[in-house]
Chain A
Amino acid sequence: MSLTSEGGHGAVPTGAEIPVEPRPAASRRDWPLYEVFVRGKRGLNHVHVGSLHAPDDEMAVHAARDVYTRRNEGVSIWVVKAADITASSPDEKDPLFAPSGDKVYRHPTFYEIPEDVPHM
């Protein structure tokens, strides 16, 4: 048996005898997956903090409070079903972001202004 302590709380086995299923059949028993976003304080954006399972939107907000804000980490919570998120795909990165790649003139540094122009 080969062992590792990588798992934080101490040594656990790592050998091939430990089953790992990257794509298991979705469990019938479990609730839908929600992604959780928290606004840390007024003036900041909501930031993604993790996910959880809940039977409905309201329960997801309550669970998010308990899991992600036990120490006043937030003033506002968003939850959204993971299945409802549409995202760009990492391997489309080049074509998707290409339109902004060659537009250097969108940046202030593109413009040469003499040092002695004040307040610019």
Chain B
Amino acid sequence: MSAPTLERPAPDEAALQRQFDATIAADHRIEPRDWMPEGYRRTLIRQVAQHAHSEIIGMQPEGDWLLAAPSLRRKAILLAKVQDEAGHGMYLYSAAETLGADRADLTDKLIERKQKYSSIFNYPTLSYADVGVIGWLVDGAAICNQVPLCRSSYGPYARAMIRICKEESFHQRQGYELLMTMMRGTDEQRAMVQDSVDRWWWPSLMMFGPPDDDSPNSAQSMAWGIKRHSNDELRQRFVDMSVPQAEFLGVTLPDPDLTWDEQSGHWRFGAIDWDEFKRVISGHGPANDERIARRRAARDDNAWVTEAATAYARKHDGGRPAEEHAGSAA
């Protein structure tokens, strides 16, 4: 995008910083072409990019069941859900580009393992019940995380989150309905659901990130209005929501320490295995290699489509070159 240039004095950094601080303090939104501190820009690019990567990689565990879904109805639902996750990734890459990042470049960083995605997607989907449990717990945890992000201080990120949150509710409900259906089925089906809950419960709690006293960057993100609640706060909210849902479903959450605390009005839960979490996020989970290999194959094996479409466009657009793209205006 180009802007008409006016003759003007060099901007005064301190004044710009004051203006930025005032915008944040007033709970107004920062928009793409506003001045912002480099730290704010970097934090956002990293966060939005890794969020986008999570959506894109997140298609894989459930995508594995697309061809094996037991009915046309279930297949259509799962396809729509996986397609939504692709859409979420696109909204978020779009937001990242308003900060000056480049979509293809971010994808390369994902494939080269320089940027990460959520640890949860490095677990395999071993049974069809996992599709239901992912919808219920993983999308449920994502909703807890994402709803406050709708008020994030960065405008394009907040707007992307609003679109995403509207769609997540379908994801969670289809999962829970799938599980209710299985629980009404045979003993074998009920056992499949319980086994799936046993495998996904703890990784779902890890989705909220390390405990607050081990989360050094949170304070800055809170001050910038990028983050609105602490990791532990959100995790507690998720546990409190999930316990009665598990009860209704008739499954047992795999935590012997789960007890109702009358005084605080919260469910108290056992210790999380942070070593497992760190292993998985740093590349040693059960499915890390497979996830990245498939994303790489999608990029490389489909490169000819990109090239063919570019050649076609060049030929039919009066020779107008598909020039380098400028930063997004959004």
Contact = CB atoms under 8 A, between A and B. Distances in A.
Contact of B119 (A10, A33, A88): A10
B199 interface: no
B227 A82 contact: no
A6 interface: yes
A50 B156 CA distance: 8
A4 B313 contact: no
Nearest to B57: A9
Interface stretch (B69-77, B140-148, B245-253, B286-294): B140-148
Contacts of B67: none
B226 interface: yes
Contacts of B316: 56
Interface of B: 1-4, 6, 8, 11, 16, 31, 33-35, 38, 41-43, 45-51, 54-55, 58, 80, 83-84, 87, 90-91, 94-95, 97-105, 108-109, 114-121, 138, 141-142, 145-146, 149, 156, 159-161, 163-164, 167, 206-210, 215-218, 221, 226-227, 231, 234, 277-278, 281-282, 303, 306, 309-310, 312-313, 316-317, 322-330
Given A2-B216, A22-B99, 10 more contacts: A8-B164, A9-B121, A10-B206, A11-B281, A19-B114, A24-B102, A50-B160, A52-B94, A56-B322, A83-B2
26 contacts: A1-B282, A4-B218, A4-B227, A8-B55, A9-B118, A10-B207, A12-B116, A12-B118, A13-B281, A20-B101, A22-B45, A23-B100, A32-B323, A51-B98, A55-B312, A56-B309, A56-B317, A59-B313, A70-B83, A82-B327, A82-B329, A85-B329, A86-B1, A87-B329, A88-B4, A91-B8
